[in-house]
Amino acid sequence: MSVFKKALHAQVAETFDVPPDSVLWRRDFLLGVATAAYQIEGAVDEDGRLPSIWDTFSATPGKVLRGDTGAVACDHYHRWRDDVDLIAALNVDAYRLSIAWPRVMDRDGRANEKGIAFYRELLQALRARGIRTSVTLYHWDLPQHLEDAGGWCNRATAYRFAEYADLVSRELAGLVDFWSTLNEPWCSAMHGYGTGHHAPGHTSVTEASAAMHHLLLGHGLALQALRRNDPASQKGIVLNVGRGTTDGDRPEDRRAAELFELQHNDWVLDPLLKGSYPAALFEQLWQGAEPPVEEGDLAIIAAPLDFLGINYYFRTNVRGDGNGGYVEVDLEGVERTQMGWEVYPEGLAHLLVGFHERYASLPPIYITENGMACDDEVMDGHVVDGQRIAFLNRHLAAVDRAVKAGVDVRGYYIWSLMDNFEWAFGYERRFGIVHVDYATQRRTVKRSAELVRDFLARRNGRS
């Protein structure tokens, strides 16, 4: 049995525990599931789709575990009708998906009609089932030809993104309830250009800083197109946030935890909600890597949002490194997921309340991703994922605590609908509440999904 399967002190649950006074019982609180295009669609060479940076990165030896790629993934491009039936059968209120930029636009900025038609039919089918649609324009799959021209380090990419947003929102207007410009710009900038863990695999903090600025500029420019073309929809952005703590007792350890959250959270939230970057980030951690801000940029970036998407998974324990920075130090004896991430629901409540207190312009919040990877197996036609059920129970309780503390949280999306291509970890790590046998593409509803389905049937009076 793997070390992940024997997660330390793993809590196991057999029921979906929703207290009678929980916000989840409100019919206007959305409970949904989420996916992303490159992780599930496959069909990377079909119907005019162009190569993306993840096609290039995953085909590069040593970049992705076991050499896995998204070439087939969950074959959702061909099986989407069955997948819509699956989503509807779970009784969820909403489905969050992303559009693959390389699938809908050619090199010259013209629409790829077959790609547009795929998403139009998908969204129409979801709406016909009464499922609210949440669409992310950019979930990391930058067209490779734009990366060849400098990618997000090139200011021009922000304007190409705005053109893409304009095209897609004109074509799909009226079919989308929630538009998100970007998914996790922190990951796109830091892991794509700073650490090299994600595509395109660069390793420069200076490039990461430039990439972040151009991502946020692209967000602001895209908002303008979305508001112009689809005024009835809600518009926002999705950010991953992290809780930083320390087990050290020195002042520099406590400052280390502050610095972790400064670079993980404030780096993105401050320009969006305050119209400025946190000066301490570049004074104390990344000297000489200031973002390439031009006149008027921050006003574009800080345009009002209808909602803010929050993705949360774990906390990070740090200590001071003796040089004014921090180092990560793993805690022993804590529960971890298949990813090796600590299960720490308290961090979600803490961050939500903190953002509520700190940002006067904080818009309504949706938890757009939360979930865990387990080493799930199908046994006698069933998948009993008790650790995931416990995880969901505790994180939903954390959301409820935040709501009771005054935070305007309006929904929660489980990551993910189904097992899928987990970026640099390939197909080994399983986040889905639906199991996927990649050899046969058979979908098997896990116990967690059954419990969500049954709860929503009760909530919605369909017992």
Instruction: Report the catalytic residues.
Output: 369
Q: Taken in order 446, 447, 451, 457, is the CA torsion positive or negative?
A: positive
Amino acid of residue 47: D
Which residue has 């794509």 as its token pair?
Answer: 192
Distance, C-alpha 430 to centroid of its chain:
15
DSSP 148-198: HTTGGGSTHHHHHHHHHHHHHHHHHTTS-SEEEEEE-HHIIIIIIIIS-SS
Please report which helix (H) or strand (E) contains residue 452, including its range: helix 447-459
Mark residue 226 as left, alpha or beta (left: phi above 0; alpha: psi -120 to 50; beta: remaining).
alpha
Q: State the burial class of residue 448 (Cβ atoms within 10 Å of its Cβ: 0-12, 13-18, 19+).
A: buried
What is the rounded CA–CA span in Å between residue 309 and residue 237?
Answer: 6
Whole-angstrom Cα distance, residue 149 to residue 235? 29
> DSSP alpha helices (H): ranges in 23-100?
37-40, 53-58, 76-89
